Amino acid sequence: MEMSGANALVEALRREKTQVVFGLPGGVIMPVYDVFYKMKDLPPELAIRNILVRHEQSAAHMADGYARASGRVGVCMSTSGPGATNLVTGIATAFMDSSPIIAITGQVARPFIGKDAFQETDIIGVVTSVTKYAFQPRKASEIPQMVKAAFRIATTRRPGPVVIDIPKDVQQEMGVVEFTDQPVPRRYGPLPDPEPGTVGRMVDALAKAKTPLIIAGGGVRIAEASRELVALAELLMCPVATSLMGKGCIPEDHPLSIGVMGMHGPSETNRIVSSADVLLIVGSRLSDRTTGNIDKFCPNSQILHVDTDKAEIAKNKTPTISLVSDARKALKALHTGLVKRLAREPKSHWFQKAKNDIDLCDLQKDGPYLSAVHAIRLLRKLLPREAIVTTEVGQNQMWSAVHFQAYGPRQFITSGGLGTMGFGFPAALGAKVACPETPVVDIAGDGSFAMTENAMATSIEEQIPVTVVVLNNRMLGMVAQWHRLFYGRRYCGVELGRSPCFPKLAEAYGAVGVAVQDYKELSEAVKSALANEVTTVIDVPISPEEDATPMLAPGAGLEEAVIA
Amino acid sequence: MISPQEEVIIDVLVDHKPGVLCTVSNLFRRRGFNISNVAIGTSEKDRVARMTLTMRGGEKEAVQLVRHLENLVDVIKAEIVDAGKAVVRELALVKIAPKPEDRLQIMSFVDVYRAKIVHLSDDSIIVEASGDSDKIDAFIELSRNFGLKEVARTGITALSREQKSTESEGNDVGW
């Protein structure tokens, strides 16, 4: 059928079941927005919702939050040049955490490409290192198959971002386009089933293990393998530690969950990991933040590594046995193999979990400040089990990782790999769009929130209510903590001061702003925020001296002395 | 077992399309692989190009590079070439401006190296030499004594003598 490139794009997106696009228009993406305009009269189930951001970085983070909360592809859109480069931080964030997003950028018209035309940036060149793939259709007729391929690449094997860069005249030109819903046989397809011989050897190692342990990474969440993970852990009676990205893959109040391991993990958790004789690592790339000093990481343990990305095998740590497989299929196969083996010789519980209780009934303030740790634990008590929490980056993130128990795999959303400050708030909005019935809370620091707070305008205008809890120490807290620990308190460039007043800022946007003075007020503020129909910003004064502990010094191994 | 500093040859088949060389070379740069040679050209199939990479760094790193390469959507397959079971060649064009009295001697050592004189004028000679890299290196060293002017080398290309690895599967593009 004959249609314009812009129409072909939107129709192709709709065929991929895209319901929402986060973006901000500009010169060379206007033909696509013109198609959105014409969708206004369509019933909502047929139209694509177009959410206007105030900065393109937020569009990419929203698409990412949407993807992480729902498991579906998040789509963001911008014009060429600065619009496209503003997306890059968000694209890189999604890349590091294997999140499937598609970024559609306008490009200058074909005759201008390479001529340094107004707002021309070679965005494909810019994003090559932080995308799985980047397309540039040169004819309208190429668009449908490229969109189909983009969705396929973004979601196949290890997910990640894909860019589609469309010259303006390709959006405008009429072309004969064909849509097919048939999957085309392509080389870049799903992985084959786990290799039975390797599974057998892993089963054997796990069956013989005295003190087995599972490390679950983000791959478990991506593969929707939480049930299989818990089933295998229960069969082995073994503890499950997670990386930051795997947090919530096993409900953290499960007796076998020992929480998030690594640089800021509880020392008890790291100690249990270090005493395992057989480590089954599923869907984790064993980043330096997870393992501590890799040369000192479990030197005497057998390492069984399962990952969907073969380039992760032996990248950081050489395993005893490796299996390139989807996490869910692998966990299922291991379970099936072990059921037979362990029926005769069941496993027993071998570890002592640290007590994780703090009495929250009668919290008292220490001076003018609340404790971030207590505030986060109180927040957990106040939120329903299914609530989704996002975090910013820094102390707020590490406090949340340790003290906010996550009960489900898509309920703790954080920028782990790239560590992008300003991620949490727009990601919370994206998550809320994906799950409108679920309460969504961004646990923020004052430094991070300031980076993307203008997304409040989107949250108000588009009616996407979330709660932001700003743990406000008027500092770039994690950097200040490093100054205290490793730089002799020589604070440089970390003191943010009293500006802005976040509650007043929230009010300026039309959101609700609350400054709380004690835990009782915090409780009330959170309760009313959950009932509010607009976004609520709760300012929680915390001490600039409160550290995110425990902490391994950089270069230390998991078992070494921690800074407590 | 390949020693850590030994050169490893990797045979890569890629979709023959714009940008693919950039994507592949970007991978070396980004992940810090030490590539000493890249040769790229067409293959037996229209839409498939063959790249021959030479990297320094030993087997473990080469295996890692192969895995990263195979993750690229445009890469059809990548594998380490067993140099003992492959034909490995490089071609060089060597321009020499000899003194008149040396011309005869040059012709004789060109013969010894089974090279060819492909251009001859009053003041210069261009020799085409092919073979493994050591032979090319030696030829160039020798030419220095006779007025070496310019060298152009293609980089190493290789084909396994075994049947299986020379075939590129299908004409299907990656995506």
Residues B107 and B130 placed together within one structural domain of the fold: yes
- A500 prior amide bond cis, ω within 30: yes
Confidence of residue B170 (pLDDT cuts 50, 70, 90): low
Confidence of residue A188 (pLDDT cuts 50, 70, 90): confident
Q: Which of A285, A276, A289, A342 is nearest to A317 (CA)?
A: A285
User: Token pair of B133, please?
Assistant: 């890299």
As annotated, the active-site residues of A are 56, 118-119, 168, 478
CA distances from B98 to A179, B102, B104 (A): 66, 6, 10
A314 touches chain B (CB under 8 A): yes
Confidence of residue A415 (pLDDT cuts 50, 70, 90): very high
- Per-residue pLDDT of B71-97, as tens digits, reads 999 999 999 999 889 999 999 999 999
- Per-residue pLDDT of A47-61, as tens digits, reads 999 999 999 999 999
- The 3 state secondary structure assigned to chain B is CCCCCCEEEEEEEEECCCCHHHHHHHHHHHHCCEEEEEEEEECCCCCEEEEEEEEECCHHHHHHHHHHHHHCCCEEEEEEECHHHEEEEEEEEEEECCCHHHHHHHHHHHHHCCCEEEEECCCCEEEEEEECHHHHHHHHHHHHHHCEEEEEECCCEEEECCCHHHCCCCCCCCC
Residue of A nearest to B69 (CA): A311
Residue A526 pLDDT exceeds 70:
yes
**Cα A80 from chain centroid (whole Å):** 26
Report the side by side order of strands in the sheet with A440-445. A412-413, A388-391, A440-445, A467-472, A536-541, A512-515
Residues B92 and B145 placed together within one structural domain of the fold: yes
Residue B169 distance to chain A (closest CA, Å): 10
- Percent of chain A topping pLDDT 90: 89
Q: What is the pLDDT of residue A42?
A: 87
Looking at the partner chain, which of A146, A187, A314 has a beta carbon nearest the beta carbon of B64? Answer: A314
Residue of A nearest to B61 (CA): A315
A485 touches chain B (CB under 8 A): no
B41 touches chain A (CB under 8 A): no
- Per-residue pLDDT of A27-39, as tens digits, reads 999 999 999 999 8
Residue A302 pLDDT exceeds 70:
yes
Cβ under 8 Å to A: B residues 115-144: none
In whole angstroms, give the CA distance from residue B117 to residue B120: 7
Residues B69 and B93 placed together within one structural domain of the fold: no
Q: Is residue B162 a part of any domain in this protein?
A: no
A129 touches chain B (CB under 8 A): yes
In whole angstroms, give the CA distance from residue A190 to residue A308: 10
Contact by Cβ (8 Å): A249, A261: no
Q: What's the whole-number mean pLDDT along residues A155-160? A: 95
A183 touches chain B (CB under 8 A): no
Q: Which CATH class is domain A2-176?
A: alpha beta
- Per-residue pLDDT of B24-71, as tens digits, reads 999 999 999 999 999 999 999 888 999 999 999 888 899 999 999 999
Number of structural domains chain B divides into: 2
List of chain A residues whose C-beta atoms are within 8 Å of the C-beta of residue B64: 311, 314-315
The residue ranges of every structural domain in chain A are 2-176, 196-344, 372-552
Q: Is residue B167 a part of any domain in this protein?
A: no
Residues B140 and B108 placed together within one structural domain of the fold: yes
A224 touches chain B (CB under 8 A): no
Among the CATH numbers 3.50.40.10, 3.40.50.150, 3.40.50.1220, 3.40.50.720, which is that of A196-344? 3.40.50.1220
Structural domain span for residue B113 = 87-153
Q: What's the whole-number mean pLDDT along residues A159-180? A: 96
Q: Is residue B168 a part of any domain in this protein?
A: no
In whole angstroms, give the CA distance from residue A421 to residue A476: 10
Q: Which of A404, A408, A495, A494 is nearest to A444 (CA)?
A: A404
- Per-residue pLDDT of A331-366, as tens digits, reads 999 999 999 899 888 888 899 887 777 777 778 787
Q: What's the whole-number mean pLDDT along residues A370-383? A: 97
Residue A404 pLDDT exceeds 80:
yes
CB contact (8 A) between residue B71 and residue A314: no
Q: Is residue B1 a part of any domain in this protein?
A: no
Residues B70 and B121 placed together within one structural domain of the fold: no
Residue after which a domain boundary falls, among B26, B49, B81: B81
- Per-residue pLDDT of A455-507, as tens digits, reads 999 999 999 999 999 999 999 999 999 999 999 999 999 999 999 999 999 99
Q: What is the pLDDT of residue B166?
A: 44
Q: What is the pLDDT of residue A64?
A: 98
Q: What is the pLDDT of residue B169?
A: 57
Looking at the partner chain, which of A146, A186, A314 has a beta carbon nearest the beta carbon of B172? Answer: A186
Q: What's the whole-number mean pLDDT along residues A122-136? A: 96
Q: Which of B14, B73, B169, B172 best probes binding to A when mutated, by most A CB atoms within 10 angstroms?
A: B73
Q: What is the pLDDT of residue A325?
A: 96
Contact by Cβ (8 Å): A255, A262: no
User: Token pair of A333, please?
Assistant: 């196969």
Contacts of B155 (CB under 8 A, 6+ apart): B37, B38, B39, B52, B54, B90
Query: Is the ipTM of this structure higher than 0.95?
Result: no
Contacts of A187 (CB under 8 A, 6+ apart): B76, B170, B172, B173, B174
Residues B95 and B113 placed together within one structural domain of the fold: yes
Q: What's the whole-number mean pLDDT along residues A378-388? A: 97
In whole angstroms, give the CA distance from residue A199 to residue A338: 10
Q: What is the pLDDT of residue A353?
A: 83
Residues B77 and B133 placed together within one structural domain of the fold: no
Q: How far apart are the first and last CA of chain B?
A: 35
Q: Is residue B106 a part of any domain in this protein?
A: yes
Residue of A nearest to B24 (CA): A128
Q: Is residue B142 a part of any domain in this protein?
A: yes
- Per-residue pLDDT of A255-267, as tens digits, reads 999 999 999 999 8
Residue of A nearest to B76 (CA): A187
Residue after which a domain boundary falls, among B19, B50, B81: B81
CB contact (8 A) between residue B67 and residue A311: yes
Residue of A nearest to B23 (CA): A128
> Mean pLDDT over all residues of chain A?
95
CB contact (8 A) between residue A133 and residue B172: no
Q: What CATH number belongs to A372-552?
A: 3.40.50.970
Q: Which helix (H) or strand (E) holds A304?
A: strand A302-307
Residue A2 pLDDT exceeds 90:
yes
A242 pairs with which residues across the strands? A216, A260
- Per-residue pLDDT of A110-126, as tens digits, reads 999 999 999 999 999 99
Q: What is the pLDDT of residue A385?
A: 97
Residues B12 and B39 placed together within one structural domain of the fold: yes
Phi, psi dihedral angles at A374 (to 5 degrees): -70, -40
Residues B52 and B13 placed together within one structural domain of the fold: yes
Residue A541 distance to chain B (closest CA, Å): 42
In whole angstroms, give the CA distance from residue A412 to residue A185: 36
**Cα A385 from chain centroid (whole Å):** 19
Question: Between A135 and B6, whose confidence is greater?
Answer: A135
Contact by Cβ (8 Å): A274, A265: no
Residue A46 pLDDT exceeds 90:
no
Q: What's the whole-number mean pLDDT along residues A21-25? A: 98
Contact by Cβ (8 Å): A469, A496: no
**Residue A166: count of CB within 10 angstroms of its CB:** 28
Q: Is residue B175 a part of any domain in this protein?
A: no
Q: What is the pLDDT of residue A352?
A: 87
CATH of the domain at B131: 3.30.70.1150
CB contact (8 A) between residue B173 and residue A186: yes
